[in-house]
Structure 1
Amino acid sequence: MTKKKENIFDFVLFKRLFQYIKPYKLTFTSLCFLVLLLAGIGAATPYLTKDAVDKGIELNKPETFLFYIIIMLAALILQTIFQLVFIYYASWLGQSLVKDVRIKLFNHLLRFKMKYYDNSSVGVLITRSVTDMERIADIFGQGLFMIFRDMLAMVVVFMVMIYIDWRLSMIVFVMLPVLVYATRLFQKYMKIAFEEVRTEVSNLNSFVQERITGMKILQLFTREKIEHENFKEINERHKKGWLKTIWYNSFFFPIPDLASSIVIGLVAWYGGIKTIEGTDIQGTLIAFIMYIPMLFRPLRQMADKFNTLQMGMVAAKRVFRVLDTTSQIDDKGTLVAEHFKGEIKFNNVHFSYVEDENVLKGISLTVNAGDTVAIVGATGAGKSTIINLLNRFYEINEGAILIDGIDIREVTLASLRTQIAVVLQDVFLFADTILNNITLNHPEITEEQVQQAAKEIGIHDFIMSLPNGYHYNVKERGVMLSSGQRQLISFLRAYVTNPSILVLDEATSSVDSYSEQLIQNATDKITKGRTSIVIAHRLATVKKADKIIVMDSGNIVEQGTHVELLKKKDGYYKNLYEVQFLQEEAVI
């Protein structure tokens, strides 16, 4: 099988990226005009030097020489000003463009299914959203326009040199094909190297992000030495990737300098012979010696800028790969749920996280409006999956989920989730104030409403006991609070939204007795008068439930009240009660 030839530059990808320039057409056009001006002014300086020598020095006319010096000074000042404006707005354009792409990417990420995040590395997504975006900005700030400027400067210099003396020009141009070939070869290998570098950067970011997040586990299980060795290995691969690019740079960059020096020597030799023969070419010789670096140096600079361009294109390719991923929940519902009565039905629902590995195996259940239903069962029975499906974090494989007789797929996703509040076992808090963690910056929820809600469920005093009260910053993931305190914040977060349906993954095994009492009081308050589904971990919640659903291996094996289920001889719930809940009651 023949390997498909890979282009050095992906024009299709660049064309797609170029679409984001449309809002900034005026800036882009102005930059192109500045490139033309800079190329013209740059090529004019050696020509003015030639005329200053030929018409001023050789003809012994000091005033003419002074005139050319003033013109050259003015050209230098203009070139400096234009260069400053050019560099600033090229970078401005790059940052403006990447701002738009980053917003689009983040908005895209916000709508992915949970399944996408189950299979994706957080570190890689952070790399796409931050580091890769900066590389895309460099395409315009340090790559594209710089290459265009250098190429145009070379063309103008090439034309002026032929106009001045075509014979000397031939000496110079004989070296150009070699440099052009070397440049293209360099670009080809650099693209491959940068692909490898971006991969290793993503791997490194993923590794570091995961280890820092799980630092407590690493230290608890004394994994420091092992992880240190793992980090050394992945860091070594990262270093080798960069060293490969450095090797290519080190090999290529001296070539233009060597070629320039050789050509200057040949021109000086030829000019010296002509001068000895009596030909008056001093001004032309000086101009050519100035022009040669202007012709050869851009080749080196273009190779360097092409590195930047290649890295940006590699980054753009990876970002667009995420943007092209279609992993959103199918939000085609037309009904806007303003309020649910709260009747929930699962009709023969099948679901699997992994294909052909069913987690729910055709379950059917009914939760009456206003009832509190407790779900019990062993780990992996499918209890938390019911929460995920009710909120449409995942799509069911078969069957239907109805609320008030309406298939939840017919309801808009936003309104569905607004009416269902969830308190998870693993509480996530942002590095922000308690108030913002409760309201999640919802503009219609005021601090007064939050305080009133906190008083109603009995946790206002706990919050006010913290420094700055509701404005206490809990830091990243809420590390400044205990697990019980974080759970209380999550209860209040759910309560202030006044949901029609409440789902609780009620876990208090790791909280102190004071927090547990507050959580129990909060549970009683927020479940009162609304449909509630509780993954029950405590006997008190199980006893109070209007219905208990017992699950095992993705099936509902028993349903009924606490008393009804205890009457079943050798029943699953009765066994669970005797093994787990009675032990809890004995401790209490």
Structure 2
Amino acid sequence: MNHERGLKSVVFKIISSSKGLTLAMVFIIAGAIVTALFPPLVLERIVNLLIAPEQVPLNLPLAYFGLLAISGLFESGQNVMITKFGQKVTRGLRSEMCAKLQYLPVAYFTEHEPGKITSRFVNDVDAVDSMFTNGIISMFADAFKVLSILAVIFYKSKGLGLIMILITPLIFVMTRQFQKQILQAQLANRIAISKVNNHVPETIGNIRMIHTLFRQKYMEQKYDDYIEESYRATDKSNLYDSIYSPIVIFISACIIASMMILAALGGQVQQFFGITVGTAVAMIAYVSRVFEPIESIGMEIQNIQSAVAGIKRINEFLQEPERKKTDSSITNRELNPGNGPFIHFDHVSFSYDQEKTLENPIFNDLCFTVASGEAVTIAGRTGAGKSTIFRLLLGMYSPDEGRVLINGVDADKIPDTQKRKLFGYVEQSFHQVAGTVTDQISLFDPEISFTQVEDAAKLVGLHESILALAKGYDTEAEHAAFSQGQFQLLSIARAVAASPKILLLDEITANLDSDTEGRVLEALKRASQGRTVISISHRLHENTLNQRIIQIGNQTKEVI
């Protein structure tokens, strides 16, 4: 399965999987365009009959108002369908991006800040959503509306049609210029407001220093400058907004007046522009309807332009190189400890910076073995690579040279579905998830039963404390009010809930007091029974949990 996809493939996938929705949207948009053309034509017929004078059949007024209602329904339906399609694209895009997350290497998450990754899922996807809900589809619909109206005007009066064909591009250019100026003013206002919002807490936070240095007037003047900047930007935006509508109304009136004057002239000019009174009424209606979609097209182009950067960033994310594929054929049975070494680092060399692997490796020809059921401590200076050993064991990284083997299987080939049954990982601090106490231990894993959750809690000595909570195991974790030591015990319970064969302990008593540390160590001794344990902590060795230290650094050696 290829997970390197872009926005285009997501849209095509949605269109192919939602053909009914796509066809319905096209039909409703076409209906909105076509039905909007008929009311002025019916009105033309009614006016011509009144001028004749002839009796107006009742069905004509009924048809006029009926067509107006149908046109309004199609217009509303168009907005609903476009919004629904945009939401489908947004949902499909976020689903594709979430699916991509599980295939990205750990290096991606260490090289990119969480906030920047989140912005791709929120800001960039929202920009794409705006492009579909009020962008590309709406723009095509409005463009067809303008073209269809111009076609009808040209059919009714070639002279007026030529005038409209010449004037429409000029109106569009004028509209875009006004919109750009308004948007620039709005952006300047947002910048000024952000300065004001930043200035106030900065002033309050440094109020003593401001008083000490007698800078009150300076800070006051800066605040006034930002307020004035915001006022000027807002005033400019309001100015453009207020004069645009009168200009459009004036242009519309000039076009209609020109049409009437030219139609009233004699000779060939009258033949070229000549129209009936009913047609004139219809033309007035059509001319007034041209300006609204033109104005909308300008904003839709703006939305599309704003979304371009978001699309580029999303496509870059979806095309990020993926981590090495695991072997789905590996089963839990193959990972059961055998007679040989259970864990084997076989001449491993590794560096986080691939371009400088040979210049500054974290490891160079690292070799050690851990037997099944053995407990060892990894020791070494800061930066020696103790935590990196865990990451290589967990298959989060692949060695540059050599192999990391678990019962003869390469660690980076073990499928994710097998890892929780193989590894239990206890970190320095507990990472809480949204949910109940049960969820903290099971991590929503459907394969972990409530009995296993209870057994894990009993093993670490938390069962009675959990039962004392208002709702026991169903208590929301944020309301459990656990102490730091209890959270660490909860972390151990989470690690052993799936009965893993290997327990990885990363400085788990570093932040605990001596009394709490004793409780945690006792829980660890119980949790370590029958498991292979690798820890990063001298203090655990001092408490006789481990029997052997593996010293890593410039030269790896084992201390018995």
TM-score normalised according to structure 2 size: 0.80
CA shift for structure 1 position 46: 1.6
Could you say if the C-alpha distance between residues 224 and 61 of structure 1 is closer, same or farther in structure 2, counting changes exceeding 3 Å?
farther
Between the aligned partners of 1:33 and 1:225, the Cα distance in structure 2 is 67
CA-atom RMSD in angstroms: 3.7
Pick the aligned partner of 1:286 from 265, 268, 281: 281
1:497 matched residue in structure 2? 498
2:402 match: secondary structure: strand
CA shift for structure 1 position 261: 2.7
2:404 equivalent to 1:401: yes
2:119 matched residue in structure 1? 127
Between the aligned partners of 1:317 and 1:246, the Cα distance in structure 2 is 34
2:518 equivalent to 1:525: no
1:374 match: secondary structure: strand
2:297 matched residue in structure 1? 302
Between the aligned partners of 2:167 and 2:381, the Cα distance in structure 1 is 77
1:345 match: secondary structure: strand
CA shift for structure 1 position 73: 0.5
1:63 match: secondary structure: coil
CA shift for structure 1 position 546: 2.3
Residue-pair matches, total: 507
Whichever residue aligns with residue 98 of structure 1, its letter is: T
Pick the aligned partner of 2:16 from 17, 22, 25: 22
2:253 matched residue in structure 1? 264
CA shift for structure 1 position 150: 1.2
1:69 match: secondary structure: helix
Q: Tell me, yes or no, if the aligned pair for 1:434 and 1:474 is still in contact at 8 Å.
A: yes
Could you say if the C-alpha distance between residues 527 and 537 of structure 1 is closer, same or farther in structure 2, counting changes exceeding 3 Å?
same
Q: Tell me, yes or no, if the aligned pair for 1:433 and 1:470 is still in contact at 8 Å.
A: yes
Between the aligned partners of 1:225 and 1:334, the Cα distance in structure 2 is 67
Could you say if the C-alpha distance between residues 244 and 542 of structure 1 is closer, same or farther in structure 2, counting changes exceeding 3 Å?
farther
1:538 match: secondary structure: helix
2:201 matched residue in structure 1? none
1:175 matched residue in structure 2? 167
Could you say if the C-alpha distance between residues 351 and 417 of structure 1 is closer, same or farther in structure 2, counting changes exceeding 3 Å?
farther
CA shift for structure 1 position 319: 1.5
1:383 matched residue in structure 2? 386
1:61 matched residue in structure 2? 54
Q: Tell me, yes or no, if the aligned pair for 1:422 and 1:503 is still in contact at 8 Å.
A: yes
Between the aligned partners of 1:185 and 1:400, the Cα distance in structure 2 is 63
- Alpha-carbon displacement from aligned partner over 1:311-331 (angstroms, at most 9, x marks no partner): 344323222211111142432
Pick the aligned partner of 2:26 from 22, 29, 32: 32
Q: Tell me, yes or no, if the aligned pair for 1:333 and 1:409 is still in contact at 8 Å.
A: no
Deviates more, 1:134-143 or 1:100-109: 134-143
- Alpha-carbon displacement from aligned partner over 1:267-307 (angstroms, at most 9, x marks no partner): 32441464487977322222222111222321111111222
CA shift for structure 1 position 184: 7.7
Between the aligned partners of 1:141 and 1:415, the Cα distance in structure 2 is 42
Between the aligned partners of 1:90 and 1:405, the Cα distance in structure 2 is 55
Pick the aligned partner of 2:152 from 154, 160, 171: 160
Pick the aligned partner of 2:326 from 328, 331, 337: 331
1:435 matched residue in structure 2? 438
Deviates more, 1:157-166 or 1:337-346: 337-346
Q: Tell me, yes or no, if the aligned pair for 1:345 and 1:401 is still in contact at 8 Å.
A: yes
Whichever residue aligns with residue 105 of structure 1, its letter is: M
Between the aligned partners of 2:86 and 2:345, the Cα distance in structure 1 is 51
Q: Tell me, yes or no, if the aligned pair for 2:394 and 2:412 is still in contact at 8 Å.
A: no
TM-score normalised according to structure 1 size: 0.77
2:451 equivalent to 1:456: no
CA shift for structure 1 position 117: 0.8
Whichever residue aligns with residue 459 of structure 1, its letter is: L
- Alpha-carbon displacement from aligned partner over 1:240-271 (angstroms, at most 9, x marks no partner): 9xx99998998699668635632432432441
Q: Tell me, yes or no, if the aligned pair for 1:348 and 1:362 is still in contact at 8 Å.
A: yes
Pick the aligned partner of 2:43 from 49, 52, 56: 49
Could you say if the C-alpha distance between residues 410 and 78 of structure 1 is closer, same or farther in structure 2, counting changes exceeding 3 Å?
closer
Between the aligned partners of 1:537 and 1:421, the Cα distance in structure 2 is 20
2:342 matched residue in structure 1? 343
Could you say if the C-alpha distance between residues 548 and 50 of structure 1 is closer, same or farther in structure 2, counting changes exceeding 3 Å?
same
- Alpha-carbon displacement from aligned partner over 1:476-533 (angstroms, at most 9, x marks no partner): xx99433322211110011111111111113323224443222111110111121110
CA shift for structure 1 position 181: 5.0
Could you say if the C-alpha distance between residues 105 and 46 of structure 1 is closer, same or farther in structure 2, counting changes exceeding 3 Å?
same
2:430 match: secondary structure: coil
Between the aligned partners of 1:59 and 1:275, the Cα distance in structure 2 is 18
Could you say if the C-alpha distance between residues 33 and 384 of structure 1 is closer, same or farther in structure 2, counting changes exceeding 3 Å?
same
2:406 equivalent to 1:411: no
Between the aligned partners of 1:261 and 1:70, the Cα distance in structure 2 is 32
Between the aligned partners of 1:156 and 1:311, the Cα distance in structure 2 is 28
